[in-house]
Amino acid sequence: MRRRAYDVLIAGARCAGSTLATFLARAGARVLLFDKDALPSDYVLSTHGISPPGIDVLDEVGVGPAVRAVTPPARIIRMNADGAMIDIELPDGRAEYCPRRERLDALLQQAAVGAGAELRDRTRVVSLVREDGRVIGVRAVSGGRETVVTADLVVGADGRHSTVAGLVEAQEYLGYDARRAGYWAYWDAPSFWKTDPAYRCDMYFSHLAGETGVIFPTDHDQLLIGSWPPADRAAAWRADPDGALQATLASEPLIGPLIRDARPVGKVRGTVKERFFFRTGVGAGWALVGDAGHHKDFVIGDGITEALLQARSLAKAVIAGSDAALYRWWRARDVAALPWYFVGHEVGAPGPLPELHRLLFSQLDTLPALKARLIETIDRRRSPLELIPALQLLWWALVSALRGRPQITAELLAAAGRAAATYRELRTRRKLLAEAETKYRAEAGLAERGLDSGHGASQRATP
């Protein structure tokens, strides 16, 4: 077999791509990392929140300490559901972080290069090179010059509008258009942000009278403050995003005082037409990681964490050295991501806050076990589908009906129907994963027997 120039070529050098490159290079793979932008550079369409499991991955690649050196931790997360406020306090050593993307991406790129990966910026993939139906490289343009680079595996880590996904014609499934737009900006944190008792929280989410608001602490004593208006109002926001953002949040009890006498640092940023989806994750000689293969509703702020976790797990599949390992990774990705995809679909719905959500918030402080389950969910030690036990939901429905609140009962039934559909889909994805696991084990067994008998098995080269 002719040796390719690289073991793995990765298009996209942001969170998913650079992290994957670091893990692979550490394992001894020859890795080339492309990015179409001049690096380092900011990634404007990102609110850049990272939950504790994502921080764990940053620690594994060696950039966690540098993130913590500048970005403040968010251990107390406050949620406001039409005036019902709760504080979720994460355990010691577990926190959310919101590092600015230019710095975070640069740290990850440096880690990849330090591990031995080669990085080329301002390099854009324009087509793929195939041999016998398998992707074996790319044609890329840099500085007006086209070059051909070969690799045993080409990975698209180039975002939701992935060029690689388009070139391999990766199929979309379970997709839908966003029901909300997103607008945010950065403000210097006022002095009372950490002295006023009203702000005894680090991160804030609110849903008041149909309007949403968020506060994320970020680098250098700044606050990311934003709102997610319904998509049908996006045109009005587009005309004057600064004015619309300030007008919407001016009356919010916690956010209003932060922005009332201040101007944002830089321009308001926004995203209007998003689409959320899964895509086929692997094929002959290629794979998709991060938003290139799966993009969920941004309202739950899970994109970077998802990308980091995927990069870590994909690295293990690549190192395993077979197409069956990659196929198993794709199916496992779907099983892990589907519950969060469901949550994003639920939370991203526009309109007034459902009565069921108000009930949940009102009960959290009176049910410590439920709050503990929420913390476990944030830390990904529990599936979000397991947050509220079925018996608890049935009890709420009964009590609501007896108290003459049929709306909650109707919402519970509707939510149960949507959850049942998700469980059905999850069963399908688990079945596909089991089939992939069986195939992987069978091929691994054949490879071992081949080695034992002195005959090499036909597998893709292992880094």
CB atoms within 10 A of CB 419: 18
The residues near 273 (Cβ < 8 Å, ≥ 6 apart) are 177, 178, 231
Whether residue 462 has pLDDT greater than 60:
no
pLDDT digits (tens, 9 = 90+) for 176-229: 999 999 999 999 999 999 899 999 999 999 998 888 999 999 999 999 999 999
Report pLDDT for 456. 36
What pLDDT does 403 receive?
A: 74
Residues 368, 359: Cα–Cα separation, whole Å: 15
Helix, strand, coil shares of the chain, percent, nearest 5, are 45, 25, 30
Among 270, 297, 295, smallest CA distance to 182 is for 270
What is the SS3 assignment for 349?
Answer: coil
pLDDT at 448: 62
pLDDT, averaged across the chain: 91
> How large is the average pLDDT for residues 367-388?
91
User: Which residue, among 227, 222, 267, 234, has the nearest Cα to 250 in the 3D structure?
Assistant: 227
Identify the band that residue 454 occupies on the pLDDT scale cut at 50, 70 and 90. very low
Give me the pLDDT at residue 419, please: 86
pLDDT higher than 70, residue 432: yes
**306 neighbors 320 (Cβ within 8 angstroms):** no
Instruction: Tell me the residue type at 346.
Output: E
Q: Where does 140-276 have alpha helices with state H?
A: 163-168, 234-239, 241-249, 256-259
The set of residues, in sequence order, having a beta carbon less than 8 Å from that of 370 and lying 6+ positions away, is 363, 364, 387, 388, 392
Beta-strand pair 282-283/286-288: antiparallel
Checking if the pLDDT of 455 tops 70, the result is: no
> Helices (DSSP H) in 271-347: which residue ranges?
303-320, 323-347
Residue 80's beta-bridge partner residues? Answer: 85, 206
**pLDDT tens digits for 383-411?**
998 888 877 777 777 777 777 777 777 88
Please give the share of the chain, as a percent, with pLDDT higher than 70. 95
161-164: long-range contacts, CB 8 A cutoff, minimum separation 24: 162/11, 162/12, 162/288, 162/291, 162/292, 162/293, 163/11, 163/124, 163/125, 163/126, 164/11, 164/125, 164/128, 164/286, 164/288, 164/292
Residues 242, 243, 249, 255: is their CA dihedral positive or negative? positive
Structure tokens of 364?
A: 């959290």
Share of the chain above pLDDT 90, in %: 74
CB 88 within 8 A of CB 370: no
Digit-coded pLDDT (tens) for 108-143: 999 999 999 999 999 999 999 999 999 999 999 999
* Cβ atoms 262, 246 nearer than 8 A: no
What is the average per-residue pLDDT within 448-463?
A: 45
Strands annotated E in 336-408: none
Write out the DSSP string of 99-152. --HHHHHHHHHHHHHHHT-EEE-SEEEEEEEEETTEEEEEEEEETTEEEEEEEE
